[in-house]
Amino acid sequence: MFYKLSGSVGSGKTQAVLEHIRDNLGVGYLLVAPTIHLCGEIFKRVQKVLVDRPEYSNNGPIRLVVSDEMDAEGVYPRAMKACEDYNSGVPPIVIVTTKTFEYLLDHLPDYVKNRFAVYIDEGLPPIRMVTFSPNDKATYLQHLNVDQAHLTTPAEGEQEILAWAAFNPKKLAGKQLDHLNSPSFREISELVLSLHYDAFLWETEKSIEVIAVFSPRQMQAFRSVTLIVAIFERTLMPLLWEQRYGLKFQDSPIAADLFDSHAAKGPLISVWHALHEADLPSRNNFRRNFETGEQGEDDPRKQVIFEAARQLNEQFPDGAYCWAANSDFKNPDNVLEGAKMPPHNAGLNHYQNFDTVFSLLCINPQPWVKKRMLELFDLEEAQLYELWRFSHTYQTIGRCSLRLRDRENPINLVVPSSFCAAQVVDLFPGATNKGQITKLPRLSKPTQQEKVLNGHGIHYTKQDNSAYSKYRKLLNDKGEVPLKKHEWYVEIRSPNLKAKG
């Protein structure tokens, strides 16, 4: 059974899971987190909730299995051993990273999986993406079989070679296959061989493009699998799994008593956006010249993001805020004086004493990824962008004092665009949309629809001109004020023409 434990940031999801485990010992538990740091935090919290359970004292069967410089055995064998050394009297609680969990998926026997309930903090990566542009694509593609739906498997007799490329590249040298020893083909080989990814491949004139979708197949033998993700419904995973695998997540019963920080904090929240209301959140826009709007400005101090940062820092002086941006923004001149967060910051609690947070992240799919995702799944382009981007924005704003239940200070959230701001306000009842916080001008050109609404870009025919003259004369004769020509065209003329066919 697959469950989702969704809810707001700061709702107590992880703590609720640990208390559920404390009250339901007797089976094995596999706890998964994306980083070694978060695994360590979970380990400490497990120890704390089980402090009154003597069978788990001195760690007992609580196993934190992460990489260690002093570890001669290796993290994967230790993780396997921790799961296989199962004492039904005192079942183990095993804590691993997402990467180690992926290894366990393909190597643990089903009878071992049957013993464990799995809780995955911060969810799973729904897809992986690889693009590769070798001089001779055929040299690589001959080892792969790609069907009409682009699903990719090892070509007949090529599985061993792909395994060398993925896991033991030294063997390639002895077989005159050194050219296969490249990082991109290594990753492609790993994904094609993986039992828990479905790899889809496209060949273009210049490149090989691969989208690999995380599959639930290898998780079906576990007692249960619960994904612990804030606003899970606004992420890619549930939609992709329902469309491709027909799998719908059930609501976890643990969710019943979670704290709703959206409702509690909403009236305290002001939401601002950095870019002009008409501009979309993208790295390209942040890299423009803030004075001319030209794309690809090389001088970091002339880029839109620098100017946005400068204006934001003036409005919130003394560094009393935390912030995150794409990794290519190096914060020149320390223009942002607040506390810097990493771009991927899910689960971090270091910033919860800040009441103001700037999310200047723009994480969008690359154009080729967008194209392939729209081919694979029944998605609208806007929907893909929203699901892809918003989880990063949400995780970033969720690092601040939203997490502190008893704190009632006003909260300021700054996001890249008006579109992002509207999404945030929609989540928090009572929040106020304050509009654009900077004085940045519009970067994008008016859309065709905007041109039409403003009277530009309409090509009037002689018949249109004649019809408008008659309309204007008729209303003037009646003593009424006629619509402006472009308004008349949009509201009256165009609908009439469409009705006539």
Say what angle helices 381-397 and 418-427 make with each other, to 10 degrees. Answer: 70
pLDDT of residue 29: 98
pLDDT in tens, 75-89: 999 999 999 999 999
Token duo for residue 178 = 């050194």
d(CA 303, CA 286): 7
d(CA 482, CA 473): 9
pLDDT in tens, 455-467: 555 777 878 888 8
Does the pLDDT of residue 193 top 90, yes or no? yes
d(CA 93, CA 62): 5
Region 411-416: what's the mean pLDDT? 96
pLDDT of residue 486: 78
pLDDT of residue 173: 82
Report whether 356 contacts 270 (CB < 8 A). no
d(CA 448, CA 18): 54
pLDDT of residue 455: 54
**Closest by Cα among 342, 328, 317, 312 to 414:** 312
**Alpha carbon 497 to its chain's center:** 45
Region 278-282: what's the mean pLDDT? 89
pLDDT confidence of 501, banded at 50, 70, 90?
low
pLDDT confidence of 286, banded at 50, 70, 90?
very high
pLDDT of residue 453: 53
Does the pLDDT of residue 405 top 70, yes or no? yes
Higher pLDDT, 498 or 169: 169
- Write out the DSSP string of 428-440: STT-EEEEE-S-P
The CA angle 413-417-419, to the nearest 5 degrees, is 100
* CB contact set of 73 (below 8 Å; sequence gap of 6+): none
pLDDT of residue 484: 82
Out of 349-363, 409-423, 474-488, least confident range:
474-488
Out of 25-39, 249-263, 333-347, least confident range:
333-347
pLDDT in tens, 470-479: 888 888 888 8
d(CA 438, CA 423): 19
Out of 93-102, 387-396, 413-422, 438-447, least confident range:
438-447
What distance, in Å, lies between the first and last C-alpha atoms of the chain? 54
DSSP state of 152: E
d(CA 290, CA 25): 59
pLDDT confidence of 150, banded at 50, 70, 90?
very high
Every domain of the chain with CATH number 3.40.50.300 lies at 2-125+217-257
Does the pLDDT of residue 307 top 70, yes or no? yes
Does the pLDDT of residue 154 top 80, yes or no? yes
Higher pLDDT, 496 or 2: 2
Long-range contacts from 263-267, C-beta under 8 angstroms, 24+ separation: 263/429, 264/405, 265/402, 265/411, 265/428, 266/428, 266/429, 266/430, 266/431, 267/429, 267/430, 267/431
List residues bridging with 13 in a β-sheet.
none
Region 325-349: what's the mean pLDDT? 89
Does the pLDDT of residue 225 top 90, yes or no? yes
Q: Is 364 exposed, middle or buried (0-12, 13-18, 19+ CB in 10 A)?
A: middle
Higher pLDDT, 453 or 171: 171
pLDDT of residue 462: 76
As a whole number, the mean pLDDT across the chain is: 91
pLDDT of residue 487: 81
Rounded to whole angstroms, what are the CA distances from 202 to 131, 145, 211? 10, 11, 9
The CATH fold of domain 2-125+217-257: Rossmann fold (3.40.50)
Does the pLDDT of residue 244 top 60, yes or no? yes
pLDDT of residue 494: 84
d(CA 113, CA 86): 11
pLDDT confidence of 68, banded at 50, 70, 90?
low
pLDDT of residue 69: 52
**Closest by Cα among 60, 93, 65 to 79:** 65
Sheet holding 208-214, edge to edge: 127-132, 208-214, 197-203
pLDDT of residue 174: 77
Structural element, H or E, at residue 107: helix 98-107
**Closest by Cα among 83, 93, 81, 96 to 38:** 96
Domain 261-436, CATH? 3.40.50
Does the pLDDT of residue 7 top 90, yes or no? no
Out of 126-130, 191-195, 292-296, least confident range:
292-296
% of the chain with per-residue pLDDT over 90:
70
Return phi, psi of residue 399, to 5°. -80, -15
Report whether 335 contacts 95 (CB < 8 A). no
pLDDT in tens, 38-52: 999 999 999 999 999
Does the pLDDT of residue 348 top 90, yes or no? no
